[in-house]
Every structure is written in structure tokens, then in C-alpha cells.
Amino acid sequence: MYEHDVIVVGAGGAGLRAAIAADEEGADVALVTKLHPVRSHTGAAEGGINASLRDGDSWDLHAYDTMKGSDYLGDAPAIDTFAKTAPEEVIQLEHWGMPFSREDDGRVSQRPFGGMSFPRTTYAGAETGHHLLHTMYEQAVKRGIEVYDEWYVTNLAVTDHDDPEDRECHGCVAYDIKSGKIEGFRATGGVVLATGGLGQAFDHTTNAVANTGDGCAMAYRAGVPMEDMEMIQFHPTTLPSTGVLISEGVRGEGGILYNDEEERFMFEYGYANNDGELASRDVVSRAELTEVNEGRGIEDEYVDLDMRHLGEERILDRLENILHLAEDFEGVDGLDEPMPVKPGQHYAMGGVECDENGETCIDGLYAAGETACVSLHGANRLGGNALPELLVFGARAGYHAAGRDMKTAEIQTGLSAKSEAGDVEPPVTPGAIDSGSEDVAADGAAVEPTGVIENAVERERERVETLLEEDGINHAEVRADVQETMTQNVNVFRKEEGLKTALRDLREAREAYEDVAVSDPSRTYNTDLIHTIETRNILDVAEAITLGALAREEFRGAHWRAEHQERKDDEWIKHTMLAWNDGTPELYYKPVILEGDEETYEPKERSY
């Protein structure tokens, strides 16, 4: 068994920032990650990082834009903390050597991004995430932070108290991808989950194949509620054949969207008369699909994004990477022709419920980054707000796990924050089929840390043995079915019948998963085994997304419902929460906090 004060699971932007913070606090910290840190998906971020740095801008303007962008589903304590702290985090990055793009006078450049009232997006060309990841990895190396890379964390080591709020997390279990060894990791201070996104629940996504929602699924099964899982962002500019992202930076620099009739449809059809292409992402994605559905799409599938008028010099200076992506994946030269784009799954606004200190309702368990839901983005994330979130809340989770006294959180977590029971009626029973395989210590009242970890390791060894030794179907069939139904039925436009179809399909997929097995018996780099375990995680998060989508009977932000065409503020300014409760998801609601430090945010109509 390995032992550290703080274990950070995941070494993308959030994990690295958490680890550096825990190290600054004097803790012995380790990163456990299934990928080498610089292969984490943060490296794919292109467009930029928002922070109010200039005269004329201020944290409260940034907070206001974020709350408005969230369609009044973000929590003010998270939004205010975020907007106040983002500038110091960006300056810190600059001091660590991040190669930001600059103006002629040497100041860090900032460009406009969707839904922002001020051009506050700092960037490093169109490779911002790549540079951010490398800058922070250098800091981790410099500090001698231990990295267990190519270790896949399979479950958390959590006590088995009946009430999740009495449970404690003592560590986790991980599988060494290189050797097949399964080991326990004890964290005497805390475990920070920073495992990134869940895009692999869909088949057209900007997310990497590693983004399988592992952290969400592990926390969910251990008893931490999932918050606002229905809030999935579909990015309006992804390449049709692969889902590869074309950064919002293209529109930020002045790129224009056209339909098949060469109309600038964002204005022509009044989707966003003020901001046009730079309206927020949910608005632009719906506009594009409406164009396609009304017969004005190109090849009935996509629209065109044109940046030729920006000129070669500016494109090469600020968007060179985009030229390579369009050329490599679509065979299109962006200097000479428009690029084909359509909406694709991009980001999970919801996730592991935590407070503004990163703490979940389970003692010793924290979450940060895309896997977490501190409720910063609410129903719609503004472009450029995820990277500063990694920094601000990654650092806070790291400090707290390492023992720093933090201001008492205003955001409440766990079932004690429940304001109302939910009343969704799924067409099939959701949740675990084989509840014996749950992640909470199942055998007796083990509360002593090493006992909890040893039990968890033992359960994992048995699970892996079974997968390797028995015959059965390949997980890929199950995964493909899940991705297909999610893209078909839980996409930009959602209908009650489609959501119910998805739940039925997911139930069938769960039943099929009962028969999966891994045909490759090897212990070394057995990627089929890893993917098989990930597919179970994808199933759990896909079902949570769909249950949340069926429950929320209104149209807010990224969540559009055919039968409910308006935002219903009287009834729905509340978070949808799902608690696994030993295998049976329970739906309930908790109130959104609109009272901020300076003002109480008043829900207004969101027009761009």
C-alpha cells in the first residue's frame, strides 16, 4: 500500500493545480493518473482563459456575465470566488512562465469570447491548454511531486456508514497499467478527484477517448450526489467527421457562420441580433441545428465557418493551429475556403457536487475541474471559463485537502441540503443491477483506514479476475449502444419520448454489461480491460444525465425540452441532484444561491 498526505487523482489542469497547492501547504502529495500528465485533455484547450485584468473590466462584470451565461443556475458564492480569484491565478501562471500571446507593448493579449461583455480571454495562440499544462507540469517536476502515471484508479476506499455524510474516504484503489498490479493508495489528508470530462458518453464529441467520467461514476457510487447532470454543453463549431474542435477563438477574432444559402444566419434569422456569432454556445448550437432542420444546412448536416477575411498574417499569428486541424481532419485549407462545422458534445456543466472549497459530503473526498460541480457554470458554461476554474478551484481543493483552514463554505452539500424530493417517472428502473459490485465497503463495518483500503483492493482484484477469466461479450458493443442512444436522444434538442427511449436503451446496455468479459488475458498494457471498466462508468454517468434531463421540465441554458419551451423561474431555479443510495438513484432538488457578495443576482431574460 502506498501512503501520502494527499492523493490527487488526475493530472490535467485541475489535478496539477491542486497538487501544487497541496505541496505549497507542506503536504506530501502524489498524482495518480491513467495518462502521463501532459497527455491530459487540458492540452487540447485552444481558445483561452478568462480573467478581468484590464482597466474598464472588473471581477463583478466577469461574475455578472458568468451568472447570466449560466441562465441563473450557477451558485453566487462559487461565481464570485471564481471571478475574484481568476486574475491572480492568471498572473501566477505568467510568473511561472506561461507563454501568453502579447500586444506590441508587451501586455498579455485578451480577445472577445462568447457571452462576455469585455474582451477578457487571455490566450497562447490557439494552443492555450497545451502551454498551461506544460507550465504547470514543470512546476510539479520542480517541486518533486510524485507522479504515478499510467495508474488507473478504479474505485475509492470509503467507509460503509449508512448515511453518506457519515462516510470517510481513506484513499483509492489503482491498477498499474504497465504491470497489471492492483494496489491501495492511502491518503491521510484527502483524495482530490480531478478526472476531467465525460464526453465518451456521446459518439460525436470534442473530448478525448480517455474522458469517460470515471471520477463522477466513482464518487456517485460511493454516495456523493451528482448535480445538474443534464447540463451538457454542445459546442457549435466541431468538425463533422471527427468532432475535433474549432476554437471559439475563430469567432472571437471575427470568423463568420454561413448557411447553404450563404446567409449570415445568426443575424438573418434573428438568433442573436446583437452578438451574432459570439452569442453564447447554446444559442449558436441551436441556431445551427435549426438551419439544418429547416433545410438550409450544407449537405443536410453542417454550416460553414469562414475566417478568410481575417487575412493570412492574423490567422497565422493567432489561429495557426486551426489551419492544421481543418487541413488534417477535413482536407480544407482555412486560408482559401470556409471550414465545415456542426455542434458536438463538449463539456459537462454538472458533476460531483462540492462546495467552493472543493469538499464533497464525504469526509476526506474533494473534487475539482470538469469532473466537479461547484456550480460555477450552471446551465451553460461561457467559453474560456473552464481553464480558470481548474486553477481557482483546483488550488482551493489542494489547499484544503492539505489542511489549510478555509472560510466556511456557503454552498451546502449532501442530502442535508435537500429542499424538495424529485418526482421523475422513468420508464424502467434505473441504477445498479448487481448491487454486490458497489464501491462502498460492503463487508461489515470497516472504518479503520487500512482495513477499508484492503477491502476495496480485494474487491477490485476479484472484479478484475472475473473480467479476465470468464467468457462473454466485448464491452465495445455496449459502449457503442450507449453513445448512439445518447447522441440520438439526449442531444441539443430533447423530447420526453426520446429521453425515455434513451433510459430503456441504457437499461438494456446495463443488462448486456452483465455479460462482458475481456478476451485478452495479459496483465501488461491490457487496454481492453481498462476500456471495459470505463464503459461501466460511462453507463452510470449517461443514465444520470438522462434522468436529470427527464426531470427538468423547462428550457434553461443548454437544456432545451420540446414540451417545455420556456424558462420557469418560479419552479426551476433549483439544482437537480441524484444520490445513488446503494444502487438506486434518488432524485431531489437543492436551491440555487443567487445572493452574491455585492448583490443578489436578479434572473433576467438572456438575450445576446
Q: Is 556 a catalytic residue?
A: no
Under rule CB under 6 A, residue 48 binds ligand FAD: yes
Question: Given CA atoms 45, 137, 120, 347 in this order, what sign does their dihedral have?
Answer: positive
The correct pick among 4, 15, 85, 549 for binding ligand FAD (CB under 6 A) is: 15
- Considering beta carbons, is residue 17 or 575 the nearer one to ligand FAD? 17
- Beta-carbon neighbour count of residue 60 at 10 Å? 16
The correct pick among 6, 10, 506, 577 for binding ligand FAD (CB under 6 A) is: 10
Q: How far is the CB of 62 from ligand FAD (least distance, A)?
A: 13
- Considering beta carbons, is residue 22 or 210 the nearer one to ligand FAD? 210
- Considering beta carbons, is residue 257 or 325 the nearer one to ligand FAD? 325
The correct pick among 171, 350, 369, 398 for binding ligand FAD (CB under 6 A) is: 369
Q: Which of 111, 120, 186, 281 is catalytic?
A: 281
Under rule CB under 6 A, residue 517 binds ligand FAD: no
Q: How far is the CB of 357 from ligand FAD (least distance, A)?
A: 17
Q: How many residues bind ligand FAD (CB under 6 A)?
A: 45
Under rule CB under 6 A, residue 12 binds ligand FAD: yes
Strands 169-176 and 232-238: unpaired
Strands 182-193 and 365-367: parallel
Site for ligand FAD in 377-416 (CB under 6 A): 384-387, 390
The correct pick among 116, 194, 305, 486 for binding ligand FAD (CB under 6 A) is: 194
Give burial (CB, 10 Å; 0-12/13-18/19+) of 270: exposed
Site for ligand FAD in 319-348 (CB under 6 A): 346-347
State residue 531 phi and psi, 5-degree precision. -65, -35
Site for ligand FAD in 452-471 (CB under 6 A): none
Under rule CB under 6 A, residue 207 binds ligand FAD: yes
What are the residue ranges of helices labelled H in 96-213? 128-142
Determine the Cα–Cα distance for residues 35 and 8; give it in Å rounded to an integer: 13
Contact predicate 409/359, CB 8 Å: yes
Structural element, H or E, at residue 532? helix 527-551
HEC-encoded secondary structure of 189-240: EEEEECCCCCHHHCCCECCCCCCCCHHHHHHHHHCCCEECCCCEEEEEEECC
State residue 553 phi and psi, 5-degree precision. -95, 70
The correct pick among 29, 30, 153, 593 for binding ligand FAD (CB under 6 A) is: 153
The correct pick among 6, 20, 30, 47 for binding ligand FAD (CB under 6 A) is: 47
Question: Which residue from 183, 195, 200 is spatially nearest to 219, judged by alpha carbons?
Answer: 195
Binding region for ligand FAD (CB under 6 A) out of 139-147, 206-214, 446-454, 574-582: 206-214
Q: What character string, x for contact with ligand FAD (CB under 6 A) and - otherwise, covers 211-250? A: x--x------------------------------x-----
Residue 243 backbone class (left: φ over 0; alpha: ψ -120 to 50; beta: rest): left
Residues making contact with ligand FAD (CB under 6 A): 9-15, 32-35, 37, 40-42, 44-49, 128-129, 152-153, 194-197, 206-207, 210-211, 214, 245, 346-347, 369-371, 384-387, 390
